[in-house]
Amino acid sequence: MREGFQRKGRQADSQWNAKESHLCVLCENPRRPLRLILSVALLIFAAAQALAQTKPDRDYLVYVVSESADKIALIRFGPNGARVDHQLETGDMPVDIDGPHGIVISPDRKFYYISIAHGRPFGLVWKYSTKDDSVLGKTTLGYFPATMDITPDGQFIFVVNFNLHGDMVPSSVSVVSTLTMTEVARIQTCTMPHGSRLNPQGTKQYSACMMDDMLVEIDTRTLKVARHFIVTQGKEMGMIGAPKRNVAEAMASMPGMNRSVKDSGGHGMELPKPGDTSCQPTWAQPSTDGSSIYVACNKSSEIVEVNADTWRVVRRIPARQGVYNLAVTHDGTRLLATNKRDQSVSIYDLKSGKELARLPTKRKVLHGVVVSPDDLFAFVTVEGVGSEPGTVEIIDLKRLQTVATVDVGPEAAGIDFYRTEPSK
């Protein structure tokens, strides 16, 4: 019995010594519990801030067009989530799809312009009022007008005529007066131009020609091609003036540069054939200061940066499969890319070229992307496949996460930011 009492006594002493030891640790560092409490509090505060950021305190509005549904939708995203505010039909062919492809909103936010791709056979651009979505004018362009951009003063829009019809021949960029809605110039560039974007100064317009592996620069004052650039890896070359027809033909005949109508029919969905080193550019995006142009190489899955002053390649950034459209944040620090074959969106740090995030999307076939003026959110269009609806996916650029999705008409394509306003 004495041994039992001794055993229990030793156990009690051991437990007391452990407690005493723990108390001594706290006595040696009395701030440790306080630090722990503060760390937990900071984590809770950060989580609360992140949750608050998911739902903004005002509404963000973007316009999007759906190519296979002939519809224009206004998307509203705010404290109440994301939804279609309203939508309307566009086009005037009663028994066929008109195919709205591109959209741009005027700098004063009073008008928006839609490129109608298909036509009979020529496409058109329509002018709408943002006040009541009424049609204010329209004009005929070239074959299959696609992406477009507007000058900072709002007086002219530049629309690429992608031309999916007939032979592989050089196409053009249409320049339209927004006041009179007349085409004032049609500038020949190269085969299948896409991704029309102006530099911030409004002095240069850039587009990328899918079938000629070219970046083309137009001087907006002379309305002529100022320079062009071959972006194929290992064959990079910057040249003055417009590309000559024999240059395009010579590029097409180079090894790994075979091209066909089939290659372009999926707008960047085709995998490169073995030995194909072509870029097949689908977008040209100037930087926020106009010093660089970023070119999306859809086939080689990389982003080429060209210096606008030296007209030389600065670097080639590895990208995801089928990189398609690009956008730059207004602070100039990040580059966003839609990856058409990868079913994802990439966000890059422009200084390092590092991919900060890759965000999978709800549906397949990525298309356009636009960033809100405050750089808080990005809005991405996903076309979908077959009879699926299109989707607008909304990305929180602080958290680098997708925070909302909303369905629109099939083959969601062009998208542009309208404005912010108090929540409804």
Q: Is cis: bond before 121, omega within 30 of 0?
A: yes
24 and 131 part of one domain: no
54 domain residue, yes or no: no
Query: Which pLDDT belongs to residue 265?
Result: 47
Distance CA 315, CA 294 (A): 10
Residue pLDDT, tens place only, 157-184 = 999 999 987 678 999 999 999 999 999 9
202 and 308 part of one domain: yes
3-state SS assignment for residue 152: coil
CATH number, domain containing residue 190: 2.130.10.10
Question: Average of pLDDT values for 391-410?
Answer: 98
51 domain residue, yes or no: no
192 domain residue, yes or no: yes
Query: Which pLDDT belongs to residue 30?
Result: 53
- pLDDT bracket for residue 44 (50, 70, 90): low
Mean pLDDT of the chain: 87
Question: Average of pLDDT values for 356-368?
Answer: 97
209 and 314 part of one domain: yes
pLDDT higher than 90, residue 410:
yes
Query: Which pLDDT belongs to residue 381?
Result: 98
198 and 95 part of one domain: yes
Rg (CA), the chain: 27
The residue ranking higher by pLDDT, 21 or 105, is: 105
Q: Which of 36, 132, 139, 28 is nearest to 88 (CA)?
A: 132
The range of the structural domain enclosing residue 12 comes to: 2-46
Count structural domains, the chain.
2
Residue pLDDT, tens place only, 188-233 = 999 999 999 999 999 999 999 999 999 999 999 999 999 999 999 9
- pLDDT bracket for residue 31 (50, 70, 90): low
Would you give the DSSP letter of residue 409?
Answer: S
Query: Which pLDDT belongs to residue 21?
Result: 46
pLDDT higher than 60, residue 138:
yes
306 and 416 part of one domain: yes
CA distances from 240 to 141, 231, 246 (A): 27, 15, 15
Q: Is 226 left (phi over 0), alpha (psi -120 to 50) or beta?
A: alpha
- pLDDT bracket for residue 35 (50, 70, 90): low
pLDDT higher than 80, residue 48:
no
Question: Average of pLDDT values for 265-294?
Answer: 85
The residue ranking higher by pLDDT, 359 or 32, is: 359
21 and 68 part of one domain: no
272 domain residue, yes or no: yes
87 and 221 part of one domain: yes
Percent of the chain residues past pLDDT 90, beyond the cut: 75
Query: Which pLDDT belongs to residue 384?
Result: 96
DSSP labels, 251-310: HHHSTT----HHHHHTSS-SPPPTT-----EEEEEE-TTSSEEEEEETTTTEEEEEETTT
pLDDT higher than 50, residue 18:
no
